[in-house]
Structure 1
């Protein structure tokens, strides 16, 4: 990996190994805050943030196979399967083997899972309010993070 370019260096005399100077720590600790807000918003619906992400994927496209969910959420099957089992036990999704390929598991929303979308429609606005920025600022930040993610995955 090449050293940072002059435009991304710390101010003169800045310690690159100081915790407060770490971009990764700023991202990590920010995600802790995001997760706390989501925990409060999702508690009454007995959903975790990762379960909510699965539901978002399914609300966009129902009857999707497990590998496609993994791909969209950057998760391994071993991480996703327990989430799906809990969602299925709650009656929000169902899982079945594909008729075309028995190795594939298709995940579908139940009626209760579909109706949950309407009950959670306030969540994005609440998170946006908690972030304290304008919609334009939040979209700009999301776009920068998406680009950063793509660069990091390419470099890995």
Structure 2
């Protein structure tokens, strides 16, 4: 080959793409019983971590842009997992609250991280920690 730098096997981006695809496949099957998409699951995890945050805080925490988040919030509201109310101090702010079913869903989802790890048995805890650190570094660049 004239340009070895273009070999697919030399591409970091392709490895990340394949890993993302594999993770999406695993999460898709695990989230199906909860009737959540992966991005909806991310929003719910952020709210399980801290309930009653503004839409802008939720967008910042999840790194989901406001337009996409707005659609997700509407769908999660339709599923009765969250509701959105005006802020107490600033009525222009929209504050996202977990509903009782949304809080209860955390119990159903609590074993998902372990199930995901079981889907990748060739990685040990140290490798997973290193991978997480490297991905954090990549995402901060």
Would you say same fold, with TM above 0.5?
A: yes
- Cα deviation for residue 29 of structure 1 reads 1.8
Q: Which has the higher contact order (CA 8 A, sep 6+)?
A: 2
In the TM superposition, what whole-angstrom CA distance separates every residue of 1:55-90 from its partner, at most 9, and x where no partner exists? 100000000111111111211100101111111100
* Secondary structure, counterpart of 1:131 in structure 2: coil
Counterpart-to-counterpart distance in 2, 1:33 and 1:24: 14
**Structure 1 regions of 5+ residues with no counterpart?**
1-12, 152-156
In the TM superposition, what whole-angstrom CA distance separates every residue of 1:130-153 from its partner, at most 9, and x where no partner exists? 1221222212211111011112xx
Counterpart in 2 of 1:48?
Answer: 37
Counterpart in 2 of 1:131?
Answer: 120
Q: Which of 18, 30, 35 matches 1:29? A: 18
- Runs of 4+ aligned structure 1 residues displaced above 6 Å come to none
Counterpart in 2 of 1:148?
Answer: 138
Q: Which of 84, 104, 108 matches 1:119? A: 108
- Cα deviation for residue 14 of structure 1 reads 7.1
Contact in 2 for aligned 1:128/1:135 (Cα 8 Å):
no
Counterpart in 1 of 2:74?
Answer: 85
**Structure 2 regions of 5+ residues with no counterpart?**
none
Alignment RMSD: 1.4
Counterpart-to-counterpart distance in 2, 1:102 and 1:22: 49
Counterpart-to-counterpart distance in 2, 1:105 and 1:136: 40
The normalised TM-score by structure 1 is 0.84
* Secondary structure, counterpart of 1:106 in structure 2: strand
Count of matched residue positions in the alignment of Structure 1 and Structure 2: 139
Larger Rg: 1
In the TM superposition, what whole-angstrom CA distance separates every residue of 1:8-61 from its partner, at most 9, and x where no partner exists? xxxxx9722222321112112211110110000010111000000001000000
Q: Trace 1:72-111 onto structure 2 (pairs within 5 A).
A: 72-111=61-100
The normalised TM-score by structure 2 is 0.92
Q: Which of 45, 48, 57 matches 1:59? A: 48
